[in-house]
A and B are shown apart, each in its own frame.
Chain A
Amino acid sequence: MKKTEFILFFFTFVIFGSKDSKAQVYGSNTVEIQYGNLPFEDKNFGSSYDQVNLFYDHNNLSFYGRVEYFLTPYEDRNYQDLTQKRIQYRDDTFRIRLGNFYETIGRGLLLRSYDIPGSVYEDEFERTRYSFFRDLEGIAVDATTSWLEVKALHAKPLFNILPPNFKPDTLRRPDLVEAIQANVFLSEKISIGGAFMRSYPNFSNATSEYGSFMFSSTPIQNISFFGEYAFETDAQVLAFQKEDAYALYLGSNFYIDSFGGSIEYKNYNNFRLGQGYNDPPSLIKEHTYPVLNRSTHVLETSNETGFQFETYYNFEEGHAITANFTTAKNDLFREFNYMEFFLEGYYEVDDFLSIKTFFDYADDEPKSEENRISVGLITDKSFNYEWGLNLDLQYQTFERSFDPDPSSNYYGAITFTYLPDISAGIVFEASTDPQQTDNPNTFAVETETRTWLGTNFSYRFSSSNRIDVFAGKRRGGPACTSGICYEILDFEGVEVRFSTRF
């Protein structure tokens, strides 16, 4: 029986076979239809992607399945697959999961999995679209009491750069990990923990073993301290030798009334585990402003040290100010430094008008971008809480040592909303960055300013159904959501996305 047949019959059975009021089936569906291509490709084509998530809960039991489907005129890109399936039992203290699940050990130094609901990822090489998640396939158990938390797992993390139709399928899960973690709550304010993980990388019989210590403490109500130290068990603990594999993360946060802040330190060395299934905190400010989101520094776990300090103050009138300072140093074949200072202000003129502005200065040696200055001004105007108008203007400039001319990025967007369900907008972007202006299909290096113009429309026709339409050119590049960074491709054409919950 094919996987899709299995899930069809399974859910037919549970929907019509159960009359128990405690049982329920629910889920979501996302359909995305595109017509167009990458901007430098010649031939436009149509494609459709669909993702169905189905849950069935009955008392303490829960079943889950995700079906994904992608169709284009190119047979080798197409697939239809049951990409996730899980059975779970849970009571007040105990949980067991079999199949595909998400789990993080400590703060992600040893192992982290994640889902980005609603995300659709397209790889430039395979040109296949699929949902972007990194799950674990295997078995996990955990138990929680008032003073102790324990979890253990035996699973294969997904290497999510390879799409569901990649053959052989086994290459999508090349690593096997076994891990156990325990946390003890010594008091209301202090917890300590430890973890042990064994890894079998790349189908190898050779194993690597890692240990981890973690703590969390809130000595007084307004201040917390936390940290984790992970290491390969072959290495001398806390020796921090260049040849050792280790990761140290320390942090503290504090608040006094409307003032708050956090400071964090990282020291990671030789700590890319397997195909990259761990995800230590990057300590890099996560921006949602497009010019800054694209410029993010991507953590290099082979060697990176640094710290991040962030502070904010929220005024009673609704105004707010945020400042962030970040440094990172990579000691690879040579030393690379990254430094960023970010300042953001938010001002509520009245109930119907707010203004937000930001300034960002960065020196980004890993990207060869020096003196990178980014500024932005965003205004949000509401007309009697019925109509809304948002104007977003952003500018960025930087220098490259091998390029005599500075490069610039421009972003402008205007969005109209008719509360609560309709919004429509126009987005304009331009760039003089040679990495953007150059057509990769020609030998010459094109330097003419490149532009992108796109329109967005979205309509929420009920609390469960929504349609989003894009038409025009959309700029790609690195994007970060929920702390996860991945590459988005440029697109030129029309895209319609229909999302529903049931």
Chain B
Amino acid sequence: MKLFLSLIILLGGFVYTPPKVNNFRLKNLDNRTTSYKDIKGEQFTVIDFWATWCKPCIKSIPKLVEISEEFEDQGVNFVGISIDGPRNLAKVKPFARSLGVTYPILLDTNSEVMGKLGVRAVPSLLIINSDDEIVYFHEGYKPGEEIAIREEILKLLGE
């Protein structure tokens, strides 16, 4: 018990720095392994964790597609990471394409990258800067939150 508490205190005690995204590799919709560093944006990378069975995710994706098109010429790349397992894998590609997604979709079937980036629920949206630091983290989606996401990207680009 004491050791456990010590561990918590220890973790709370060290100086906070933004967590970084280490390069990871996942399969894309064409079954090819793709690494994060190959698709990351020059300025920022927006990663959206989603799943075909997640209703708020489906609601948010068309809004994210609009935002991705607005910023595609400004060094901001969008990446979708589907956490669908083998049960739903067949649906990911047509689902994404019919929703108009043009940015890369990667498949995290074991939820390994999800766990490593501290994502606990879908949808979760991360904005990562060119130094691979996570500078924005947003969990869930309610109508209107796309406005805050867009403003955050604008703010980050303005810095």
Contact = CB atoms under 8 A, between A and B. Distances in A.
A318 B4 contact: no
A413 to B, nearest CB: 13
Contacts of A501: 19, 118, 137
A117 B111 CA distance: 8
A191 B120 CA distance: 33
A261 B19 contact: no
A261 B4 CA distance: 50
Contacts of A360: none
Interface string A273-307: 00000011111101110000000000000000000
A451 B134 CA distance: 44
18 contacts: A4-B4, A24-B17, A29-B11, A52-B7, A62-B22, A80-B4, A108-B85, A117-B111, A222-B97, A224-B93, A251-B90, A312-B94, A354-B143, A419-B142, A463-B137, A463-B138, A482-B51, A501-B137
A320 B88 CA distance: 19
Interface of A: 2, 4-5, 7-8, 11-12, 15, 24-30, 50, 52-55, 57, 62, 67, 69, 80, 90, 92, 102-104, 107-108, 112-118, 144, 149, 183, 185, 188-189, 191, 216, 218, 222, 224, 226, 251-255, 257-262, 264, 279-284, 286-288, 310, 312-314, 318, 320, 346, 351-352, 354, 356, 380, 382, 385-386, 388, 417, 419-420, 460, 463-464, 466, 482-484, 499, 501-502
Contacts of A224: 93
Given A67-B7, A92-B35, A312 B30 contact: no
Given A104-B109, A288-B54, A312-B98, A281 B89 contact: yes
Contacts of A185: 32
B144 interface: yes
A281 B95 contact: no
Contact of B10 (A12, A57, A280): A12
Contacts of B25: 144
Contact of A255 (B7, B94, B138): B94
Given A255-B93, A262-B91, A313-B98, A102 B112 contact: yes
B62 interface: yes
B115 interface: yes
Contacts of B90: 226, 251-253, 262, 264, 281
Given A28-B120, A218-B30, A382-B142, A483 B22 contact: no
Nearest to B7: A8
A356 B58 CA distance: 12
B10 A254 contact: no
A420 B60 CA distance: 14
Given A54-B11, A482-B51, 8 more contacts: A80-B1, A103-B110, A253-B91, A253-B94, A254-B94, A288-B55, A318-B62, A417-B142
A189 B143 CA distance: 38
Contacts of B98: 255, 257-260, 312-314
B116 interface: yes
Contact of A502 (B7, B11, B51, B88): B11
Contact of A483 (B1, B32, B84): B84
Contacts of B116: 55
Contacts, number: 200
Interface in B1-41: 1, 3-4, 6-8, 10-11, 14, 16-17, 19-20, 22-23, 25, 30-33, 35
A115 B1 contact: no
Nearest 6 interchain pairs by C-beta: A385-B144, A260-B94, A483-B87, A483-B85, A118-B120, A260-B98
A5 B4 CA distance: 9
Interface in B77-128: 83-91, 93-95, 97-100, 109-112, 114-116, 118-121
B1 A7 contact: no
A27 B8 CA distance: 12
A50 B19 contact: no
B39 to A, nearest CB: 14
Contacts of B97: 222, 255, 260
A312 B139 contact: no
Contacts of B32: 185
A438 B142 CA distance: 39
A17 B138 CA distance: 32
B145 interface: yes
A104 B86 contact: yes
Nearest to B14: A15
Nearest to B112: A102
A104 B144 CA distance: 38
A467 to B, nearest CB: 13
A419 B145 contact: yes
B110 A102 contact: yes
A28 B120 CA distance: 10
A25 B94 CA distance: 38
Nearest to B85: A483
A257 B87 CA distance: 24
Nearest to B11: A502
A169 B1 CA distance: 21
A424 B8 CA distance: 29
Contact of A482 (B3, B58, B111, B142): B111
A239 to B, nearest CB: 25
Contacts of A258: 98-100
Contacts of A420: 138, 142, 145, 148
B71 interface: no
